[in-house]
Amino acid sequence: MIVKENIQDKTEIRTACIEALIHQAKTDDSICFIDTDLAGSSGSKAFEKAYSNRYFNIGIMEAQAVGVAAGLGVVGYKAFVHSFAPFISRRCFDQAVVSSAYANIPMVLLGSDPGITTAYNGGTHTTFEDITMFRGVSNTQIFDICDSVQMSGIIKILCEDMKGLNYVRFSRRPSRKIYNEGVKFQIGKGITLREGTDICIFASGAMVSQALDAADILTAKNKSVRVIDIFSILPIDEDIIIQAAKECTHLVSLDNHNVRGGLGSAIADVLIEKQPKKLLKIGATTFGQVGTYDQLLKEYGWLGSQLADTILTHIE
């Protein structure tokens, strides 16, 4: 189920997204795609080629795109709307809340390149608050995708049973391959990638790879490390969090997001109510900046080696 080697995924996550939608659209005439003048970035031209009558390029008008998606939803369509993460979250938040979540009109917002995965686009495009925003909205689901297999699985689930507002954040860049083909994903269920009892590292999206790197380093230092992928942030897997709190000495969360309100905060909410325990939350505390992805990982202290050092400093 889990790929043990550190190898690059041959399929980009954005490609997996479009290919999965094309596959589902073969047998479901209600699936449609809305892009915001970013077909080259999302790869959605392939969907347009396959189903031109169900493809809409709204232009650089994200709020309008969400409005169109809501209108399509009213008459029975399942709309997937893509833009860069800051625009599909911050720029059209009100439209998403009122026209989808509040009105109970199903749609999926695809937010590409959240957090530091935006790289050279810099601070204005660095989305460190999108999870916080959508976690505060009822009738909403949030997913943070780590590789192509996971993206395909989540797209399939959403196509088959789309309810309310759904926010899917993912990096367009090549990623580490985490899962083998055929893995079954469930909304609201995390996945344990490594077993251990000394330290449990919770991660999602782009941080899963860094969590595994940190686990390798900590294991070499005779630490027993559990790694859990919490790709479903809302709803969240309370059972897997509670179990980790009972079985592991130290708990750590990694966020490609502001440390306030992200994955770590979602986990802390569960711990406070169900299984009180200290949690080391690692994430951003500032705005983003310009750089390559690798440079930004180092700048924020999120490389596997840096994370291992930070974790050891806090537990010893």
Q: Roughly how many angstroms between the first and final C-alpha of the chain, as a whole number? A: 33
Check pLDDT > 90 for residue 292: yes
**Spatial distance between the Cα atoms of 215 and 291, rounded to a whole number of angstroms:** 26
Q: Is the distance from CB of 108 to CB of 81 less than 8 angstroms? A: yes
Q: pLDDT, tens digit, for every residue of 185-205?
A: 999 999 999 999 999 999 999
Q: Is the distance from CB of 79 to CB of 34 less than 8 angstroms? A: yes
Structural domains of the chain sorted by starting position, each given as residue range(s) with its CATH number in brackets? 13-170 (3.40.50.970), 191-315 (3.40.50.920)
Longest dimension (CA), the chain: 60
CA 83 to chain centre: 14
H helices of 111-162, in order, are 130-135, 148-160
**Spatial distance between the Cα atoms of 15 and 42, rounded to a whole number of angstroms:** 8
Mean pLDDT of the chain: 96
pLDDT above 90 coverage of the chain, percent: 93
Q: pLDDT, tens digit, for every residue of 135-176?
A: 999 999 999 999 999 999 999 999 999 999 999 999 987 789
0.75 exceeded by pTM? yes
Q: How confident is the model at residue 8 (pLDDT cuts 50, 70, 90)?
A: confident
Check pLDDT > 80 for residue 22: yes
Q: Is the distance from CB of 258 to CB of 128 less than 8 angstroms? A: yes
Q: Is the distance from CB of 38 to CB of 84 less than 8 angstroms? A: yes
Q: pLDDT, tens digit, for every residue of 82-120?
A: 999 999 999 999 999 999 999 999 999 999 999 999 999
